[in-house]
Amino acid sequence: MSRENDKNVFELVLEMLEERFKDDNRKASLAKRIFKEFLISGKRGLDRIVREEIYKALESEDGNETTIEENRGRRI
Amino acid sequence: MKLRLKKIEVEGFKVFSRNHSLDFNAPIVVILGPIGTGKTSILEAVEYALYGSLYSIKIRREFRVEDLINDFCDNLAVKLILTDENGVEYEVYRYRDRAGRVKAYLKVNDETIEDEWSKIDSQIEHLLGIGLEGYARQIALRHREIEDIIYGTDMQRSEALDRLLGIETLEKIFRSIPLKRIEDELSKIQNQIEIIDIRLRKEEPLDELVGKLERYKKELFEAEEKIRERERLLSRYRDELKKLKEKEKEYEKIREKEITLKAEIAQLKKRLKALEKEVLEEDLEVLVEKIRSSIMSALKEIMAYKDLEEIEKLELSQIKLDVMLRVFHEKLRKLEIALENMNEEALDINYQLASQRNHYNALKRKLADLEAKMYTLEKEYNTFKFLTEKFGSRAEIRKKIEKLEIELGKIDNLIRLNTCINDLGKHVLSAYIKNGEAECPVCGTKIDDEILKRIKKRLSAPREEAFNRDKILKNLEELKRAYSKLIELEEKIIEMREIENERNNLAKELDEVSANIEELEDLISDIDFKISRINNLIASASSLLLKLARVREIVELRKELEVKKQELNKVLKKAMEVEFDKNYYNTIEEKYYAALSEYNNLSSYLKKLNIDIENLKEKIAYIQELVNKKVRLEKKAVKLSRLRDDLIEIKAAFREIQSSIRRIVVRRIIEKMNDLFQQMYVHPDFSELTIKIRNVKFKREGREYERSMYEILAKRTRDGKWIPALKKMSDGQKRIVILSLLTALFRLSPHNVSFIILDEPTPSIDYECRKAMIKMLAKIEGIDQIIVATQDESFKRIVQDEPAAVIYKLRHEKEGADIEVLR
């Protein structure tokens, strides 16, 4: 039996994710986080991770702005 | 290390209200019993003791932990003992009450190594090398799982097999990654970008606004230059005006001085004219001499010779005029003081005179009173003379009185004696008169009436002594009256003498007062004359001095007038020197105000330009902000898109990995499964098994998915064809196939468990196959213990040949399930 036979599914998944995203640490890390969090907390954990990632993407240097005040300043 | 079950004790757990103990220390343990007697409960008690929960509670959430407590109990308690190949015992205890209070411990060879619930869970997981989920899939093989695989749809079967293979998580992850949420966020951002674009389209282009701002700035610069120029001009005019104002001030001051001087000169002239009209000009020397003469005469009157001499010695000169005048004034003041003193003296004399006159009048009134008293007393004196002439002196009267009193005393004694004699006679007479007849007490003869009358008359007749006594008494009273009168009169005469003396003294004093009055009248007359004279002299001197003062004032005014005229000339000269030109001043002022107006206009223009620039800047900032916001949003959109792409990629990766792992695991399983199948299935019609994987597209909740489906194939010996096992084979054959699969999974799993639990594993399997299955399981390497829970009584016979097998028989009792050990 090959070396793979000695490994459980958890180890295999992590190894394969690592292999799959070997050129992109960020993706590898995110995929592993998703896998582990899903095993621990199920769909809720997965949702939380995605929420965090969305928040990170939406976050800007000047805060999480949503709207711009209209008609600021006077017309010339 | 391989662990197997040794013993379990349950109390209050599901159907077991009482304490029950089951010894598992055997290679095969069969738990027999009809439905609802607690076979599965015992298997669940093992699971609960190991993991503190059940797979059906924790993962599937079919019911709650509290539901494990027997309805007639307040708590549950499970004690499980495991043992390894070296004989080490592991005792795990779990307790839970309805209030949620829990207790637990883990002992190794009777020594507690842990008593904290959650830590025990991980310790057990570590010991067994498998978690709750793995335990539920690979150790405790439930009837339901087997049924799902055999009788479920292709999808249910595939899902169940995925669960058993441990790769359904990857499928779930694949399905659960919420790409829609990211799409929603992306859509929101796109909307915001669209809104910004709409707003930007409403505004002027940014470069135009910037160009406008530059133009405004240029205009502002030019305007500032102009305003600075105006400021310089204004400053120059302001300085000039300041100088001119100072000059004007000085000029005005000189003009004021000129006016004041002219007014003063006019005033002086007017005053001089009035004085000259008032005072007839007279020689100063004559005036002085007249004053000197008047003062000297006055000083003579008050006999101030020293002052007189001083005045006399004064010589008149222009320089000494002031000294002279001062001396004159001093002397006049002295004269006035002297005059005041004389007036006071005159007042004093007048007062004395009035006092003397009052005194004189009082004396005269007193003298008149004395005269009146004397007149009365002289009458008393005549009475006195008359009485002394008639009765003699008071001493003589006294002697006469004493003599008469002695005589009166003698008569009184005689009268008293006679009275006694008469009274005695009357008494005697009355005692000897009986029946109107009287007898002589001496002789006893009868006394006739005549004699009796005579006797009675004699006894009652007034006596001579009584007449004499009245006479003496009369004389005595007269003498006593005269005596008393004389005493009274003597006092009057003394008083009269005193009054007489007093009258004489008064008369003398009156004469003296009269003389004083005359003297004072003379004195007052002299003083009044003197006062009048001095008054006249002082008035004359004062009048002359006043005149002299006016004359002097005229001289002084003339001098002053001269000075003022000279001063006026100087002021006029200075006014000429100042050179203030009012017209020039007005011209400069006009120019200043014109420049100021221009400056103000420029200021307003500058202010407006500044406001315009500020507004423009604000507008540019607003647009810039919009642009920045758009850029930020676009960046976010890019980030989100990247996240979405990443997640899509990750999602695909999970699917790929799932396929890969599936292939690996299935490959492993096929090998083991065939080995086990061939041992368990004792019939010759099927020789081999395999698992085929195919991808199938399906729709769920409106979305299309693709997933791998399993197909278990059995090789038919007769024609060597692979036929779908779960479709073509009988129920018993199917069950043997699935049990082969599950046991293969148990073998492949890297845990420390050497027991396998089968819950109702063999319905529909024939006796031979059942027997073969149990024997095969007992032979499998790594399985030291088989726990079977079943309703199938044939198991008693199946394990008959196994000497170490234990059989428990469960049955229904009134107070819950009861357990009987059959073997």
Question: How many angstroms away from the CA of A40 is the closest CA of chain B?
Answer: 11
Residues in chain B with CB shorter than 8 Å from the CB of A14 are none
Using pLDDT thresholds of 50, 70 and 90, give the confidence band for residue A76. very low
Q: Closest CB to B650: pick one of A27, A51, A68.
A: A27
Using pLDDT thresholds of 50, 70 and 90, give the confidence band for residue A72. very low
Provide the residue count of chain B.
823
**At B99, is the secondary structure helix, strand, or coil?**
coil
Provide the residue count of chain A.
76
Mean pLDDT calculated for residue range B166-191? 88
Q: What is the pLDDT of residues B329-388, one digit of tens each?
A: 888 898 889 889 989 999 999 999 999 999 999 999 999 999 998 998 888 889 999 999
Residues 6+ apart with CB under 8 A from B743: B672, B676, B756, B777, B780, B783
The C-alpha atoms of residue B148 and residue B142 are separated, in whole angstroms, by 10
- % of chain B residues with pLDDT over 70: 97
**Taking CB atoms and an 8 Å limit, are B619 and A38 in contact across chains?**
no
Q: Which strand ranges, in their side-by-side order, compose the sheet holding B3-11?
A: B20-23, B3-11, B75-84, B89-97, B102-108, B111-114
Q: Closest CB to A60: pick one of B167, B178, B632.
A: B632
The C-alpha atoms of residue B266 and residue B54 are separated, in whole angstroms, by 134
Using pLDDT thresholds of 50, 70 and 90, give the confidence band for residue B819. confident
Maximum distance among all Cα pairs of chain A, rounded to whole angstroms: 82
Using pLDDT thresholds of 50, 70 and 90, give the confidence band for residue A74. very low
Q: What is the pLDDT of residues B775-792, one digit of tens each?
A: 777 777 778 899 999 988
Closest-CA residue of chain A to B632: A60
The C-alpha atoms of residue B700 and residue B356 are separated, in whole angstroms, by 159
Domain presence at residue A65: no
User: Which pair of tokens denotes residue B516?
Assistant: 């004083």
**Taking CB atoms and an 8 Å limit, are B660 and A76 in contact across chains?**
no
Which of A 4-43 lie inside 8 A of B, CB atoms?
4-6, 8-10, 12-13, 16-17, 20-21, 26-27, 30-31, 34-35, 38-39, 43
Neighbour count for residue B8 (Cβ, 10 Å): 21
Are B787 and B750 contacting, i.e. CB atoms less than 8 angstroms apart?
no
DSSP symbol at B279: S
Q: Is the pLDDT of residue B594 over 80?
A: yes
Confidence at residue B659, expressed as pLDDT on a 0 to 100 scale = 86
Residues in chain A with CB shorter than 8 Å from the CB of B656 are 16, 20
Q: Does B184 touch chain A (CB under 8 A)?
A: no
Domain presence at residue A76: no
Q: Closest CB to A13: pick one of B629, B661, B750.
A: B661
Rounded to 5 degrees, φ, ψ at B486 are -60, -40
Give alpha helix (H) positions in B62-205: 117-128, 132-134, 143-151, 154-165, 168-176, 179-202
User: Which one, of B782, B739, B776, lies nearest residue B761 by Cα?
Assistant: B739
Rounded to 5 degrees, φ, ψ at B511 are -65, -45
Closest-CA residue of chain B to A65: B629
Using pLDDT thresholds of 50, 70 and 90, give the confidence band for residue B29. very high
DSSP symbol at B715: E
Residue with tokens 């059940």: B54
Residues 6+ apart with CB under 8 A from B820: B808, B809, B810, B811
Which of B 721-780 lie inside 8 A of A, CB atoms?
748-750
**Taking CB atoms and an 8 Å limit, are A12 and B664 in contact across chains?**
yes
**Taking CB atoms and an 8 Å limit, are B192 and A21 in contact across chains?**
no
Residues in chain A with CB shorter than 8 Å from the CB of B165 are 9
Are B439 and B447 contacting, i.e. CB atoms less than 8 angstroms apart?
yes
**Amino acid in the structure at residue B471:** K
Domain presence at residue A20: yes
Q: Closest CB to B626: pick one of A54, A68, A75.
A: A68
The C-alpha atoms of residue B215 and residue B203 are separated, in whole angstroms, by 19
Neighbour count for residue A23 (Cβ, 10 Å): 7
Residues in chain B with CB shorter than 8 Å from the CB of A38 are 169, 172-173, 176
Residues in chain A with CB shorter than 8 Å from the CB of B618 are 72-74
**Taking CB atoms and an 8 Å limit, are B653 and A57 in contact across chains?**
no
The C-alpha atoms of residue B325 and residue B290 are separated, in whole angstroms, by 13
Pick the residue of B130, B174, B624, B643 with the most A CBs within 10 A to test the interface with A by mutation: B643
Q: Is the pLDDT of residue B235 over 90?
A: yes
The C-alpha atoms of residue B582 and residue B7 are separated, in whole angstroms, by 132
Closest-CA residue of chain B to A71: B622
Q: What is the pLDDT of residues B93-104, one digit of tens each?
A: 999 999 989 999
The C-alpha atoms of residue B749 and residue B743 are separated, in whole angstroms, by 10
Confidence at residue B318, expressed as pLDDT on a 0 to 100 scale = 60
DSSP symbol at B2: -
Confidence at residue B150, expressed as pLDDT on a 0 to 100 scale = 79
Q: Is B87 left (phi over 0), alpha (psi -120 to 50) or beta?
A: left
Closest-CA residue of chain B to A63: B632
Q: Closest CB to A9: pick one of B166, B176, B654.
A: B166
Q: Which residues of B545-565 are buried (b: 16+ CB within 10 A; e: fewer)?
A: bebbeebeebeebeebbeebe
Q: Is B36 left (phi over 0), alpha (psi -120 to 50) or beta?
A: left
Cα–Cα distances in angstroms (integers) from residue B411 to residues B404, B457, B459, B460, B480, in the given order = 10, 22, 18, 18, 19
Residues in chain B with CB shorter than 8 Å from the CB of A72 are 618, 622, 625
**Taking CB atoms and an 8 Å limit, are A76 and B196 in contact across chains?**
no
Mean pLDDT estimate for chain B? 87
Q: Closest CB to B178: pick one of A1, A50, A57.
A: A50
User: Which pair of tokens denotes residue B231?
Assistant: 């400021």
Residues in chain B with CB shorter than 8 Å from the CB of A27 are 646, 649-650
Work out how many CB contacts closer than 8 A connect A with B. 119
Are B27 and B805 contacting, i.e. CB atoms less than 8 angstroms apart?
yes
Confidence at residue A70, expressed as pLDDT on a 0 to 100 scale = 41
User: Which pair of tokens denotes residue B330?
Assistant: 């001093």
Q: What is the pLDDT of residues B318-341, one digit of tens each?
A: 667 778 888 888 888 988 898 899
**Enclosing domain of residue A44:** 3-58
Domain presence at residue A25: yes
Question: How many angstroms away from the CA of B141 is the closest CA of chain A?
Answer: 19
The C-alpha atoms of residue B789 and residue B817 are separated, in whole angstroms, by 15
Closest-CA residue of chain A to B672: A1
Using pLDDT thresholds of 50, 70 and 90, give the confidence band for residue B440. confident
Closest-CA residue of chain A to B202: A71
User: Which one, of B619, B618, B641, B615, lies nearest residue B193 by Cα?
Assistant: B641
Domain presence at residue A74: no
Confidence at residue B62, expressed as pLDDT on a 0 to 100 scale = 67
Residues in chain A with CB shorter than 8 Å from the CB of B621 are 73
**Taking CB atoms and an 8 Å limit, are A38 and B172 in contact across chains?**
yes
Contacts 24+ apart (CB under 8 A), B484-492: B485/B383, B485/B387, B486/B384, B486/B387, B486/B388, B486/B391, B486/B394, B486/B397, B487/B394, B489/B380, B489/B381, B489/B383, B489/B384, B489/B387, B490/B384, B490/B394, B492/B377, B492/B380, B492/B381, B492/B384
Using pLDDT thresholds of 50, 70 and 90, give the confidence band for residue B282. low
Q: What is the pLDDT of residues A16-54, one digit of tens each?
A: 999 989 999 989 999 999 998 888 778 888 999 999 988
Domain presence at residue A27: yes
Q: Closest CB to A9: pick one of B167, B192, B196.
A: B167
User: Which one, of B180, B169, B657, B647, lies nearest residue A24 by Cα?
Assistant: B647
**Taking CB atoms and an 8 Å limit, are A6 and B750 in contact across chains?**
yes
Question: How many angstroms away from the CA of B612 is the closest CA of chain A?
Answer: 7
Q: Does B183 touch chain A (CB under 8 A)?
A: no
Closest-CA residue of chain B to A37: B173
Cα–Cα distances in angstroms (integers) from residue B601 to residues B219, B222, B226, B230, B614, in the given order = 15, 14, 11, 11, 20
Q: Does B192 touch chain A (CB under 8 A)?
A: yes
Are B294 and B537 contacting, i.e. CB atoms less than 8 angstroms apart?
yes
Residues 6+ apart with CB under 8 A from B517: B353, B356, B357, B360
The pTM score is: 0.48
Residues in chain A with CB shorter than 8 Å from the CB of B654 are 31, 35
Cα–Cα distances in angstroms (integers) from residue A72 to residues A75, B194, B627, in the given order = 9, 18, 14
Mean pLDDT calculated for residue range B157-171? 81
Q: Does B665 touch chain A (CB under 8 A)?
A: yes
Classify strands B89-97 and B686-700 as parallel, antiparallel or unpaired.
unpaired
User: Which pair of tokens denotes residue B541?
Assistant: 């001197």
**At B136, is the secondary structure helix, strand, or coil?**
helix
β-bridge mates for residue B694, sequence order = B709
Classify the C-alpha dihedral B580-B586-B591-B597 as positive or negative: positive
* Cβ-based burial of B135 (10 A; exposed 0-12, middle 13-18, buried ≥19): buried
Confidence at residue B214, expressed as pLDDT on a 0 to 100 scale = 93
Residues 6+ apart with CB under 8 A from B265: B561, B564, B565, B568
**Taking CB atoms and an 8 Å limit, are B654 and A9 in contact across chains?**
no
The C-alpha atoms of residue B809 and residue B30 are separated, in whole angstroms, by 8
Classify the C-alpha dihedral B510-B515-B516-B522 as positive or negative: positive
Question: How many angstroms away from the CA of B54 is the closest CA of chain A?
Answer: 16
Using pLDDT thresholds of 50, 70 and 90, give the confidence band for residue B723. very high
**Taking CB atoms and an 8 Å limit, are A73 and B621 in contact across chains?**
yes
Q: What is the pLDDT of residues B445-499, one digit of tens each?
A: 777 778 778 877 777 766 677 788 888 889 999 999 999 999 989 888 898 889 9
User: Which one, of B595, B766, B799, lies nearest residue B681 by Cα?
Assistant: B766
Closest-CA residue of chain A to B666: A5
Pick the residue of A1, A3, A6, A9 with the most B CBs within 10 A to test the interface with B by mutation: A9
Domain presence at residue A63: no
Q: Does B233 touch chain A (CB under 8 A)?
A: no
Domain presence at residue A70: no
Centroid of chain to Cα B598: 57
**Taking CB atoms and an 8 Å limit, are B181 and A13 in contact across chains?**
no
Using pLDDT thresholds of 50, 70 and 90, give the confidence band for residue B119. confident
In chain A, how many domains are there? 1
**At B717, is the secondary structure helix, strand, or coil?**
coil
Neighbour count for residue B397 (Cβ, 10 Å): 23
Confidence at residue A67, expressed as pLDDT on a 0 to 100 scale = 43
Mean pLDDT calculated for residue range B590-614? 92
Confidence at residue B61, expressed as pLDDT on a 0 to 100 scale = 66
Secondary structure percentages of chain B, helix, strand, coil, to 5: 70, 15, 15
Residues 6+ apart with CB under 8 A from B221: none
The C-alpha atoms of residue B267 and residue A14 are separated, in whole angstroms, by 127
Confidence at residue B60, expressed as pLDDT on a 0 to 100 scale = 61
Secondary structure percentages of chain A, helix, strand, coil, to 5: 65, 0, 35
The C-alpha atoms of residue B174 and residue B650 are separated, in whole angstroms, by 8
**Taking CB atoms and an 8 Å limit, are B636 and A20 in contact across chains?**
no
